[in-house]
Amino acid sequence: MSGAATTFDRATSEVVLIVDDVPDNLSVLHDALDESGYTVLVATGGEAALARAAQALPDIVLLDAMMPGMDGFEVAKRLKAAPETAHIPIIFMTGLTETEHLVAALEAGGVDYVTKPIKPKEVLARMGVHMEGARQARQTRNALDAFGYASITVRASDGKLMWQTPLARELLAEYYGTRAPETPAPVVDWLRRHLKEAEQQIEPPRLTAELGARRLTFRLHQQTGDDDWLIVMREVSDTAVIEAMSLSFKLTAREAEVLYWVVKGKINRDIADILGSSPATVKKHLERVFAKLGVETRTAAAAMAMNRIRQLHPQFGG
| Angle at CA of residue 119, ends 113 and 123, nearest 5° | 45
Sorted by sequence, the CB contacts under 8 Å of residue 147 that are 6+ apart come out as none
**% of the chain residues with pLDDT over 90:** 43
Q: What is the mean pLDDT of the chain?
A: 85
Using pLDDT thresholds of 50, 70 and 90, give the confidence band for residue 11. Answer: very low
pLDDT at 5: 39
Query: What interhelical angle do 72-81 and 99-107 show, nearest 10?
Result: 20
Exposed/middle/buried for residue 5 (C-beta within 10 Å: 0-12, 13-18, 19+): middle
Backbone angles phi, psi at 304, to 5 degrees: -65, -45
In words, the CATH class of domain 148-237 is alpha beta
Exposed/middle/buried for residue 291 (C-beta within 10 Å: 0-12, 13-18, 19+): exposed
Same fold, 3-142 and 148-237: no
Buried b (16+ CB within 10 A) or exposed e, 232-257: bbbbbebeebbebbbebbebeebbbb
Q: What is the CATH number of domain 239-312?
A: 1.10.10.10
The topology (CATH level 3) of 3-142 is Rossmann fold (3.40.50)
**% of the chain residues with pLDDT over 70:** 89
Using pLDDT thresholds of 50, 70 and 90, give the confidence band for residue 278. Answer: very high
Whether the pLDDT of residue 93 is over 60: the answer is yes
Q: How confident is the model over 289-314, as a mean pLDDT?
A: 88
- What pTM did the predictor assign? 0.50
At residue 309, the 3 state secondary structure works out as helix
More confident residue, 45 or 116: 45
Query: pLDDT tens for residues 134-186?
Result: 777 667 666 666 666 788 889 999 999 888 888 899 999 999 999 888 999 99
pLDDT at 9: 45
User: For the chain, which residues make up each domain, given as ranges?
Assistant: 3-142, 148-237, 239-312
